[in-house]
Structure 1
Amino acid sequence: MEIVSENPVTLAWMGDAIYSLEVRKTLLNKGLRKADVLQKQSAKYNSATGQATVLDRLLEADLLNEDEREIVRRGRNAHVKSPSKSADLKTYLKATGLEALFGYLYLYHHEERMNELLSICMKLGESL
């Protein structure tokens, strides 16, 4: 594994932006245009519960390599100062792990893998 010097919370901060942008593109590509519908659908994908569920499915299907699982583990073990008010700490930390993964893939220039996993996550998110 390459040396990852970023704090997992910093990775998650960037990963949250990457994941949110992909969700928005996915919803617009589905033809959704009404703001209230976009917001409701986006919340399913972007909620801590939705992200934790997607992460669980990625792990169950063994779709992450060893380095990616390590980044997720670091994200899940991160010390967060303000967890979600709408999810328990365990769920929130799983979501942080998923976000850290995408932050890592983006910041360390693994764009092809990032896009592959984002596509899988969007498909998994359709069933939320």
Structure 2
Amino acid sequence: MNLTKKIILFDGVCNLCNGTVQFVIKHDHDDAFRFAALQDPVGQQLVQERNIDTELIDSIILIDPGVAFYTKSDAALEIGKHLKGYRTISKILLLIPSTLRNIVYDFIAQNRYKWYGKKDECMIPTKETKKKFL
């Protein structure tokens, strides 16, 4: 497994999460990220290795190998810091305390299936994006 890239773990059946992954892939001009669904064996292995309880953290997770892992709004904004056009806004929003940011994040996360829908199974990467998935 290539652990030199930052790894984004996401809810593979969530339409909002899948749309976000597609957005990051489109804007990841530096090829900084790799992806795995939380439901996939690779995603499960990565959270187990880090003792992350996905029952308590219903969130996107960003793993920066050998450095740290980030959840909720911290993960989203850390990802944004690596996307052209979103670096400045991400850095500014990181100045807001995470407890405040996560109130908004949690509200969206709790309603994501109701607002955006849910797939029956994880998305299948296209031939062009397959190399980005673990």
Query: What is the TM-score when the length of structure 1 is the normalising length?
Result: 0.30
More strand by share: 2
> Which of structures 1 and 2 has the larger relative contact order (alpha carbons within 8 angstroms, sep 6+)?
1
Query: What is the TM-score when the length of structure 2 is the normalising length?
Result: 0.29
More helix by share: 1
